[in-house]
Structure 1
Amino acid sequence: MIRALALLFCLSTGTTATAQTDPAAAAEAAAARLENAAIMLSEATTGRARVDALTETVRAYEDGLVALRDGLRRAAIRERAIRLEFEARRDEVSRLVGVLTTMSAAPTPLLLLHPSGPIGTARSGMILSEITPALQAEAEELRTRLEELSVLSNLQQDAAATLEAGMRGVQDSRTALSQAISERTDLPRRFVEDRVGMATLVAATDTLAGFADGLSVSIAAEGDAPAPDARARRGSLPAPVQGTLIRRYGEADAAGTVRPGWILATRPRALVTAPAAATIRYAGPLLDLGNVSIIEPAPDVLIVLAGLGEVYGNPGEVVPEGAPLGLMPGETPNAQAILTEAAQGMDAPRSETLYVEVRDGQDTADPGDWFAPLSGRTE
């Protein structure tokens, strides 16, 4: 599916897939990841292996759909640019087509004769020898543009079925992932949760800071698993979700509210994963933050992920890097909505937001000190 689209992207853009930022290269990479994920799925025999394979499958589908959206948007922009160019050069193109039509319809001997006799014929031949290369060049340019326009139009017309298949695939993978996580029983545990203590803490706190400071009361018994320690990777952790940074640490929003964390804009139902091996300290609804996952990647360091639609895992479990922690809320747009966005030259909307806060001891820390640099903008 994605590999075929990659070829069309190369044809429509006139480039080769040499950079990961190119939609064709991204689609090729996603196709390879899908193939690897399928192999992992076929070999998965334990709950943990199946979760890993499904996580990779969801990521591959998300990457492929992003590449497809980007490619369709570029194709729509390119198609509109060509049509506008044709419109601006309508008279010139009409004259060119008229000349070419006349030349192709007239018998060859008549093209070589001139009413004024041999001298006129010679002069017209000299003029024609000068004009012909230019006419050929313009005709070749026109043919190339028309072929490109045809490829772009066919790409957009055939994209609906591919989009439908891709969205069905990612939805099926997310459903299977949720089921596999519920069946997983082989994760190591650092502690057993005190459910009564956790419920009391949730009811008694009215701020995220107060809740984070009181998390130690939720531990009923210590386990055998060692505590993860990601301090050595400080400054290089991957983002927990595929998204765009729209608000930085300590930056006020339009209402003047300042938050000690990042706000990432994501697409609906995007997969949220652990940026490093960590202990899950809390997973569930909290205050007015929606569903929250709090993980501990190093002793006394907490990463708070707030605004999820679904959360995975239980307090005390030690999850590896890349483990699924939840899904963002929202509804995935249908294929027609995506095609409409592409036809208008718009990028896919990132309508959901994930709040990311890092707490080191009793204080908040700039997530930029822990995560690798992210692309983004400020408003």
Structure 2
Amino acid sequence: MKRLALILALWAAQVTAQDAGAQARAAAEALEAASVLLGTAEEAQDRVAALTDTVRAYEDGLAAMREGLRAATIRETELSRRLAGQEAEVARLLGALMAVGDRAATRTLIHPEGPLGAARSGMLVAAVTPGLADRASALRADLEEVTALRSLQQNAADTLQSGLSGVQTARTALSKAIAERTDLPRRFTEDPIRTAILISATETLQGFASGLAEISEDDSAPPLPAIEDRKGALPLPVRGVILHEAGDRDAAGVSRPGIVVATRPGALVTSPTAATIRYAGPLLDYGLVVILEPQADLMFVLAGLDTTFGEAGQVVPAGSPVGLMGGAAGNNLSPSGEGAGAGRSETLYIEVREGDVPEDPLRWFTTDKG
């Protein structure tokens, strides 16, 4: 982990895109901090928190490296095409530089128009030579930049591969730490029979969430703090970009009250605030679903996960991991597929229900970081 943090920091100093460089430096610092925290974590909860920070830092660092690699590739392609298009000009330039070089000095003394012609030619050469030298210097700089960019791309690809290995290791360790965690408070114990009946009796995600709200909790448990004052400022549960907003029609022409977030394969999904897990498991055709209840009559529905963490009834703190997205995290090393949504092959559906009425999730979550 420390080795990758150092590589990220060094790489950030060379990367072409300034934003990506700043993100890489921030990720390197986060990795260092997570490493320190992980080394001092003794309690299961502390270890889960440290590993969560580690996975997040890896994700941010790899995203920054991909963006920087993309920028470097675009720049290298642009320079290569420009140089290829100037091949004839370069040949003429080299010929002109050779003509005014030392080897041509003896020939310039013999001019058809005699000494006067030789003097005029000398004046012309003297006027043209600085321009030729400047053009040659510019071409040399472009060639050197192409060479440096190609080296940067190779180093970045190697670091990406190392980072992907590291984040997979961190995810595995996180899964193990969560499985061993026994210190989470509980608000209720799930009744598997009632839940199974509810699943079999519902045909939609909305119907299941509505029915789930009617299954009472243990009222003796203290309520979680209200989060109304944080409306609009909660972080998205996953790093990604908004693919569909509430009410948008998807490719099949279906309109849903929630949002769809495009994520990278294997992305970590966390609880945006302290919440009770009301349900975690498979549901209809949504894959794995986690339903969180941060306060009475408010539910966050997260659908489309590949792995879920936690059990129904547990109260998880803000930022606690509740699952992972699917896909093979190592399949997207090419920078050509980066961009707004490209390379983000997984999708998480997020729905907010307040008092059994769907509400636009973007009224709750901030999307400043994509």
Fold similarity call, TM over 0.5: yes
The one-letter amino acid of 2:92's match is R
CA distances 1:306-341 after superposition (whole Å, capped 9, x unpaired):
00000111122222221111001111234xx52xx3
Other-structure match for 1:204: 201
Residues 12-31 of structure 1: matches in 2 within 5 Å? Answer: 13=16, 17=18, 22-31=19-28
Deviation of residue 204 (structure 1)? 2.6
Deviation of residue 93 (structure 1)? 1.1
Q: Which of 340, 343, 352 in structure 1 is aligned with 2:346?
A: 352
Secondary structure (helix, strand or coil) at the match of 2:366 reads: coil
Q: Which of 133, 147, 152 in structure 1 is aligned with 2:144?
A: 147
Other-structure match for 1:185: 182
Residues 210-289 of structure 1: matches in 2 within 5 Å? Answer: 210-216=207-213, 218-219=215-216, 221-222=218-219, 224-289=221-286
| Residues 318, 255 of structure 1: alpha-carbon distance in 2 compared, 3 angstrom cutoff | same
The question of whether the paired residues in 1 share the 8 Å contact of 2:306 and 2:326 is answered with: yes
| Residues 82, 126 of structure 1: alpha-carbon distance in 2 compared, 3 angstrom cutoff | same
Deviation of residue 160 (structure 1)? 3.6
1:60 aligns with 2:57: yes
CA distances 1:178-235 after superposition (whole Å, capped 9, x unpaired):
0001111112222232333223322332222222122245556345443232111101
Deviation of residue 161 (structure 1)? 2.5
The one-letter amino acid of 2:165's match is R
Stretch deviating more after TM superposition (365-374 or 141-150) = 365-374
Q: Which of 128, 133, 136 in structure 2 is aligned with 1:136?
A: 133
Residues 25-44 of structure 1: matches in 2 within 5 Å? Answer: 25-44=22-41
State the alpha-carbon separation in 1 of the partners of residues 66 and 367 from structure 2. Answer: 24
State the alpha-carbon separation in 2 of the partners of residues 58 and 123 from structure 1. Answer: 71
CA distances 1:267-318 after superposition (whole Å, capped 9, x unpaired):
1111011111211111111122111010012221100000000011112222
CA distances 1:129-161 after superposition (whole Å, capped 9, x unpaired):
321221121111111101100011112233343
The question of whether the paired residues in 1 share the 8 Å contact of 2:297 and 2:355 is answered with: yes
Other-structure match for 1:72: 69
The one-letter amino acid of 1:369's match is R
The one-letter amino acid of 1:356's match is I
State the alpha-carbon separation in 2 of the partners of residues 3 and 125 from structure 1. Answer: 56
| Residues 11, 269 of structure 1: alpha-carbon distance in 2 compared, 3 angstrom cutoff | closer
CA distances 1:87-141 after superposition (whole Å, capped 9, x unpaired):
111111111122234444527x548746355433432332233212211211111
Q: Name structure 1 gaps, 5 residues minimum.
A: none
Deviation of residue 258 (structure 1)? 0.8
Stretch deviating more after TM superposition (234-243 or 129-138) = 129-138
1:364 aligns with 2:358: yes
Secondary structure (helix, strand or coil) at the match of 1:292 reads: strand
| Residues 68, 222 of structure 1: alpha-carbon distance in 2 compared, 3 angstrom cutoff | same
| Residues 11, 47 of structure 1: alpha-carbon distance in 2 compared, 3 angstrom cutoff | closer
State the alpha-carbon separation in 2 of the partners of residues 255 and 229 from structure 1. Answer: 37
Q: Which of 297, 301, 321 in structure 2 is aligned with 1:300?
A: 297
What TM-score do the two structures reach when normalised by structure 1? 0.88
| Residues 102, 10 of structure 1: alpha-carbon distance in 2 compared, 3 angstrom cutoff | farther
State the alpha-carbon separation in 2 of the partners of residues 238 and 333 from structure 1. Answer: 26
The question of whether the paired residues in 2 share the 8 Å contact of 1:225 and 1:318 is answered with: no
The question of whether the paired residues in 2 share the 8 Å contact of 1:243 and 1:264 is answered with: yes
State the alpha-carbon separation in 1 of the partners of residues 119 and 198 from structure 2. Answer: 100
Stretch deviating more after TM superposition (362-371 or 153-162) = 153-162
Q: Name structure 2 gaps, 5 residues minimum.
A: none
Q: Which of 95, 100, 107 in structure 2 is aligned with 1:98?
A: 95
Secondary structure (helix, strand or coil) at the match of 1:193 reads: coil
Q: Which of 161, 165, 180 in structure 2 is aligned with 1:164?
A: 161
What TM-score do the two structures reach when normalised by structure 2? 0.90
The one-letter amino acid of 1:75's match is A
Deviation of residue 25 (structure 1)? 1.1
